[in-house]
Amino acid sequence: MYVLLAAALTSCAGKTGTSPTSSRVANPIDFPLYSGSSVLSVRDWHHTLTPGERSELGISASSTGVYGGYEVVAATTAAFADVAVWLRDIDSRPPEGYHDALLGSGVDQARMSARNIGIDFSVFNRDERDGPHDVVVLAVDPDLVQSKAGFVLTMLDKFRRLPSFLRDPIDAQAKKQMGFTVTDAIDPNTPIGATVGALSQLHDAQARGIILIDARRVGPPR
């Protein structure tokens, strides 16, 4: 399911080519980006995550409630293979206090499948006074994703144009199978939807992308 999520998140990215413009936007997440990358955008999010959404994002907390954090989109002219090596190095040596939350059977195969379509990912967690703090890291080669999985973008665009009576049964089936709806995946107020929307910036940057999404529980159930 991580591969399906990553494909949906990154399918909006465009072609690669020239260097990204410089940026003075700071990374507000206490987690490193690829050296030399430029932050394109930062936005915060708050959402009552379903169990399925928490699972797909790798969030370790099992309790209900409002979760929030930041979404950071950055760009680099480095090769995708180099960014993937960087991410595996962080897996083996996480930042102080964090640990790799994706250890277990099936993860290596999922990552290999994802890398074949231009995506790499990992999830990290650390315990804090107010509860666990999770960080999802995605690395993207937009050109490769576009050529291998661009059909996902077409599907999302078609879904947006459907009337509600046609969207509802699709959402119900997605909810049953994945724990969240397609509507959730394109809602800019959710971490998934926010990333789908933000990734269009990678087309303008013409570069590989690094996306950080962090999550903490910030309130009781709504």
pLDDT given at position 201: 64
pLDDT at 43: 85
Q: Any bridge partners for residue 215, and if so which?
A: 134
Running DSSP on this structure, what letter comes out for residue 213? E
Determine what percent of the chain is predicted with pLDDT higher than 90: 19
- pLDDT higher than threshold 80 for residue 193: no
- Angle at the Cα of 173 (from 145 to 150), degrees rounded to 5? 15
pLDDT band at 189 (very low <50, low <70, confident <90, very high): low
Q: How many domains does the chain have?
A: 1
Provide the mean pLDDT of the chain: 75
More confident of the two residues 209 and 9: 209
Per-residue pLDDT of 112-142, as tens digits, reads 877 887 788 888 999 888 788 889 898 888 7
> Residue 25 sits in which domain range?
2-219
With a threshold of 0.85, does the pTM exceed it?
no
First to last CA, the chain: 27
Distance CA 186, CA 84 (A): 27
- Residue 1 scores a pLDDT above 70: no
Per residue in 56-103, pLDDT tens? Answer: 666 766 667 788 889 898 999 999 999 999 999 999 999 999 998 876
CA distance 64 to 86: 34
- Taking the C-alpha atoms of residue 34 and residue 209, their distance in angstroms, rounded to an integer, is 10
Q: Are strands 66-76 and 99-100 parallel, antiparallel or unpaired?
A: unpaired
Phi and psi angles of residue 14, each rounded to the nearest 5 degrees, phi first: -105, -145
